[in-house]
Structures are given as structure tokens and as C-alpha cells.
Amino acid sequence: MLKCIIIDDEELSRAIIESYCDKLDHLDAVKQFDNALDAIKYINTNPVDLVFLDIHMPELNGFDFIDSLNNPPNIILVTSDSDFALNAFEYNCIVDYLVKPIKLPRFIKAVTKIEKTQALVSQSHSEVNKELYINIDRRLIKLHIPDIYLIEAKGDYINIKTETQNHIVHTTMKKIEEKLPEDLFLKIHRSYIINLRKIVDIEDNSVLIKKEVIPVSRSNRPELMKRLNLLG
């Protein structure tokens, strides 16, 4: 849910925007302000995802408000003056520009833009989290994390096994474990980390990964069983 604040010196305008927010389940209008100065104090100490911002206000106008913030959230400008549309394009944080009187379909269209932007950012972060760079002979090699099926401790080194090849890296099991997504990998023995999606079979205190039989320590077995999608 997006936490929103409304900044507008017109009470009717604030009420309309709040009523539109109430119609959408993913918007939470947490605060209203009739001036930008009070809003600055609030936004500096509270998390805000979206600001509905009037341009023409006493003391501090909408653009001055944005300029005063180090890291402004998403902004949807709300104004009765369409002459400032070009100015709005100079700010990366401004997602849309609504001209009063605002109709609900146009309001929803503006909010949808933010949802699409957030989805793209989330997808970008997800893709980055699927990559791991390892240092081999002063070369940085990129690995696709889901392709890793097994990591084995070898003294001061680890052996990272992927679908296509193995990589011997000078590091510790603890360091590699910190880099791997917890929902995909599990340390089942002091010398082995496995990709849970690559398990072929489990028998007694061992798992079959591809064609390799990997021991499961007694202390790690309960967590392994907990993480599996068991039937019955």
C-alpha cells in the first residue's frame, strides 16, 4: 500500500483527493496539509510514497517544496493552472500533472503510472539479485545464481558448481552464504550448501543433487525438512 499525503491550500480539493484515495485499496492518505512548510516537517520524519501536491500555495509553492527535499518521493502535481506542465518535466520525481477539477478516471490513470514505475524498479532489483560476481585470476566472472546447484568447502576455497562448469574461489562458506537468497539455498552440512530447487531425491541423512549424494548433518536436517513442500 502506498502511503500518501495531500498538500493543498484548498479544503475542497484536499477532500476530493482524499475521497479518491479511499476508493483505491492500495492508497492510504495518511495526512493532509494546507501549506508546504508543515508538510516538509512531516516528510522529513515519516515515510511517504506519494505526494499529491498543489503548485500555487502561500509562503512556499509546489516547486519550492520539491527543491527543499533531498530525496523527494513520487509527486503528482494537482493544480488549476496548466501553464506549469513544462516545468514539471524538469523533475524526475514528478509522475503526472493533474488539472483541476480532477475526475476519478484521470486520477486512477495517474496513480497507475506510479504502480508501473515501482514494478519496473522491483523487477530491476530482482534481476540484480540473481547475479553473483566471483573473482577468478583477477577476472570478475558473472554467475546466474539459480544455475548454482551446489557449493562445497575445500579448505580455504569453495567449489561453486553450476549447470555448465565448476569454479574454485578463495573465500569462506560464511561469505558465500551471505550472498545467496535464503529462499533458494540452504546449508545442510558444514561443508555443503545446496540449491533446494535442484534436489532430486532425499534418503535418510543424504540428498541427491544431480548425480551427487550430499550428506545432511543431524543439526541441519530439521531445517531442510521444514523448507521442503511435503505432502502428508
Is residue 99 predicted with pLDDT exceeding 60?
yes
Give the strand order in the sheet containing 166-169: 166-169, 157-162, 148-154, 192-195, 185-189
Within the chain, all domains assigned CATH 3.40.50.2300 are found at: 2-127
Superfamily (CATH) of domain 2-127: Response regulator (3.40.50.2300)
Which of the following CATH numbers is that of domain 131-227: 3.40.50.300, 2.102.10.10, 2.40.50.1020, 3.50.50.60?
Answer: 2.40.50.1020
Placement of cell 546466474 in the chain: 144
Residue % of the chain over a pLDDT of 90: 64
User: Count of CB atoms within 10 A of residue 81's CB?
Assistant: 12
Instruction: List phi, psi (to 5°) of 194.
Output: -120, 155
pTM here is 0.54
pLDDT in the model for residue 123: 55
Per-residue pLDDT for 102 more than 80? yes
pLDDT value for 128: 46
| Portions of the chain given CATH number 2.40.50.1020 | 131-227
- What DSSP assignment string belongs to 60-93? S-HHHHHHT-SS--EEEEEES-GGGHHHHTT-TT
pLDDT, one tens digit per residue, over 123-149 is 544 554 688 899 888 889 999 999 999
The arithmetic mean of pLDDT across residues 61-83, rounded, is 90
Give just the sign of the alpha carbon dihedral 158, 196, 211, 145.
negative
Distance CA 17, CA 158 (A): 57
The one-letter amino acid at 114: I
